[in-house]
Structure 1
Amino acid sequence: MTTAARSLPTPTRPTPTLHAHTGAPVTEAVLSAVSSAAVDGALPAYVYDVGHLAKHLGRIRAGLAQAGPNLSVLHAVKANPDAGLLAVVARHVDGLEVASGGELAHVRGLLPDVPLAFGGPGKTDAELTAALLAGVERFHVESPRELRTLDRLAREHGIVATVLLRCNFPLGEVGEGSGDGAGSGRAGGLAGAALRMGGTPSPFGMDPETADAAAGELPRLGGIRFAGIHAHLASGLESAQCAELAGDILGWSRDFATRHGLPLEEVNVGGGMAVDYTRPGALFDWEDYGWRMAAVVERYGPVRVRIEPGRAVSAYSGWYATRVLDLKRSHGSWFAVCAGGTHHLRTPAAKGHSQPLAVVRGESSREQPDATGVPVTFVGQLCTPKDVLARDVPVDALAVGDLVVFGMAGAYAYNISHRDFLLHPAPRVLPVGG
């Protein structure tokens, strides 16, 4: 599938919202900042529209409000640790999830009072100790060994750690035995999921047999307080699928707790909300999800339900802006060589898509474009044919000096990129809309 873009004249002042042919928007604030940055020589740059993010988060919270106070939201910091974005996110969520000692220190330095959960595999003794001393509220425990280590460290410091056992159970078994029809137990309900992790060999979480063994150790662990279950079984789900899976996870968790005689206070059903880079205008339906989750939350009464979105929160509020350095035709195909590349924006290479984009005519571009009405592949400056940002994008007109603004670059973008390859300069970071 190709991504389309159109060429527009460079504005001398902020202009109305710009849309690429894909429907991916470039906000007025972003367009103005990109145009100014081009004049100042400040491209490539990431542009984060914090006003856009705040409005998006407001819509998310409005949709989730239908489910009542027993549904809370943690945001996964790994999606984007940018300080400005996190400050906005923290005002709209119930806490943040960190997955390393580095993220823990980063967030505590920025937001010392925000509630935290600590997840991720391979937590070291030093990281667990730092988390205990930092007052982390929830530990998502990945293995029996980690559980025992956390118990030992907690007792050494006179602390009781509240834990959720992260479990990885087969999707076909989810909800079986719940007795109330809450869980469908149908893996087919996740058709089209971008990533399915439930029931497959994985370094994440515990399979049912291992989780049973961990539960058996709990009575002997004085530094541990069991609060519930964490499960992240699939990604790329639409609202109905997400809510169905949440109900299934809750049903499995209730059965698990009952079988082991454990109180079930809380279940974290993960994230996995769909973000489709080939359809940038098709946002996850938070209103429908909130309506469906209201029934799920009511069914499980006093159990607190937590969701943990990441990409679906910040992806749409970030843009990667650059300029065309060279434009050439090779064996019948057009290539636009852009400043920067996948060492700044690895998302399209990692996920195998074309990043949605818009082309803005640059002040330094020639009056006559080099390429008109042809598909163009946008590449970067790296010495590898894999440095592709978007393939075969139909453009009305394109010339050296034009600006290219890639949308949906607010999550799993610069922070996952191999930024030191070839030692090119880092992109600027430009916050707007505040």
Structure 2
Amino acid sequence: MTVPFSLTPLLQYIEQQHEPICAYYYDLDYLAQRARWISESLPQRVHFYYAIKANSDTPVLTTLAPHVHGFEVASLGEIHKARQASSGTPIAFGGPGKTQVELQGAIEADVELYHVESELQLVRLNALATKSGKVVKVLLRVNPRFDLPDATLQMAGKPTQFGIDQDRICDVLDSLPAYSHIRCVGFHFHALSNNLDARSHLLLVQSYVEVARSWQRAYGLNIEVLNIGGGIGINYTPGGAQFDWPYYCQEVERYLDSGDFDFPLAMECGRFVTATMGCYVTEVTDIKVNHGENFAILRGGNHHFRLPSSWQHNHPFQVVPVEQWSWPCPRPGVSQQEITLCGELCTPKDVLAKQVTVDQLRVGDLVLFDKAGAYGWHISHHDFLSHPHPHRVYLHDNHLCQIDSVIAGTN
């Protein structure tokens, strides 16, 4: 397993530390290159939004702002983060639980699009928009009734809290004239997460378009945009095939050029953008044998990096050997054996990889978890047991820096 960016700056930084190592490392130069590749591969009629729930750090958003059409957010806090990073980048506001306070804050922040998930959200948004004297643009988020491809996580196509049941959309469309300060400009579908098959995803997009066109014809709608959601995944299996982005973009362009519809599409991806730009590195603080199985205890765990236990997978990793050993005892370690990589929390669920074979692993070595730039730190329960937070280190313009200060040059 290899990461797609240089680890040299990170290792130089680690050499300067005196406490057990625990850090996130994000390569913003690599991220900018990846964002350009993603955006430039798409047809011009596809607006690409970054879903900031995947990683909402300000340096990440600032890096992405020049390369995306907009930011997709799911809370007022995320709206504030997006505006802090870029005052002019368009914002699309999703999420099933928008409160009055959040909707009011979104209006004040000049949010461009609202993904409306219920009739009550329409009522609230219209009342607040009327009071503010603004007409706001909305997309109706649909929970579809048709079959969906396999993916790690399914958020629609079955009973969930997301969107408006497809069978209820016609009633909502009939009610739109009653909302004087709402302008419905299209529909929003976001039904699944982490789909790895480009062909099945293309079929899903075609299903979205066909349903939207049926409503367009029936109601004479002027659809300004159809948001086809995200759901494009990252394969965390070492050596596993990744989503075929060039093929997908090529076929979307061919579909757009077919002339079957004239409205643009929008996408909102998070994991696909940022997962590969970062890693999570921790130090092995102990190795022991219990009931005949080997266990490595790490300085860190799922309070920092919850993704492996959340998705119940063995996260890909590599061992970075550290030769220094200063304790007055033999150095614990294993060679060519299975071992479970555990965190420091007081729960047996704090596992990042279970019974994986390693060539060699010793106390004091580093374990580097790959593809940790999305849904790692940002979905974790940071303060459980009040352990110190990991450092977050960024590489930008060939300088290694933490959030606030430059640490060292990397010439």
TM-score, with structure 2 as normaliser: 0.91
1:54-74 Cα offsets, whole Å, 9 max, x none, are 22222212321xx2x211101
Q: 2:203 — aligned with what?
A: 244
Give the drift of 1:414: 0.5
**Distance in 1 of aligned mates of 2:125 and 2:18:** 50
Within 5 Å, which residues of 2 pair with 1:199-210? 199-210=157-168
Distance in 1 of aligned mates of 2:349 and 2:337? 22
- Cα distance in 1 for partners of 2:85, 2:9 equals 28
DSSP-derived class of the 2:67 partner:
coil
Find the residue that maps to 1:159 and give its secondary structure: coil
Could you tell me how far apart the structure 2 residues matched to 1:41 and 1:254 are? 61
Aligned AA (1:290):
C
Residue 364 of structure 1, CA deviation: 2.8
Q: CA shift at 1:31, angstroms?
A: 4.0
> How far off is 1:27 after superposition?
2.9
Correspondence 1:26-425 to 2 at 5 A: 27-28=5-6, 30-41=7-18, 43-64=21-42, 67=43, 69-172=44-147, 187=148, 190=149, 192-237=150-195, 238-279=197-238, 282-298=241-257, 299-365=259-325, 370-425=333-388
Work out whether residues 156 and 162 of structure 2, in 8 Å CA contact, stay in contact via their aligned partners in 1.
no
1:212 Cα deviation after fit:
1.7
TM-score by length of 1: 0.86
Deviation at 1:246, TM superposition (A): 0.9
- Secondary structure in structure 2 of the residue aligned to 1:378: strand
Give me the whole-angstrom Cα distance separating, in 2, the residues matched to 1:206 and 1:365.
Answer: 59
Q: Tell which deviates more after alignment, 125-134 or 273-282.
A: 273-282
Question: Counterpart of 1:211 in structure 2: which amino acid?
Answer: I
Whether 2:385 is the aligned partner of 1:426: answer no
Percent identical: 38
CA distance in 1, matches of 2:263, 2:136: 19
Name 1:10's counterpart in structure 2.
none
In the TM superposition, structure 1's runs of 4+ consecutive aligned residues that sit over 6 Å from their partners are: 366-369
Count of aligned residue pairs for this structure pair: 391
Name structure 1 gaps, 5 residues minimum: 1-19, 173-186
Structure 2 residue runs of 5 or longer lacking an equivalent are 398-411
Name the CA shift for 1:300/1:74 in 2 (closer, same or farther; >3 Å): farther
| Higher relative strand content | 2
Kindly state the Cα deviation for residue 263 of structure 1 after the two structures are TM-superposed.
1.6
Residue aligned with 1:167, SS: strand
Q: Distance in 2 between matches of 1:220 and 1:409?
A: 46
Q: Displacement of 1:243 after TM fit?
A: 1.7
Is this contact kept in 2: 1:171–1:198, CA < 8 A? no
Measure how far apart 1:311 and its partner are: 0.6
RMSD value over aligned CA atoms? 1.7
Counterpart-to-counterpart distance in 2, 1:39 and 1:282: 37
Q: Per-residue displacement from partner, 1:162-199 (whole Å, max 9, x unpaired)? A: 00000011124xxxxxxxxxxxxxx5xx2x32233333
Aligned AA (2:282): T
Shift in Å, 1:84 = 1.1
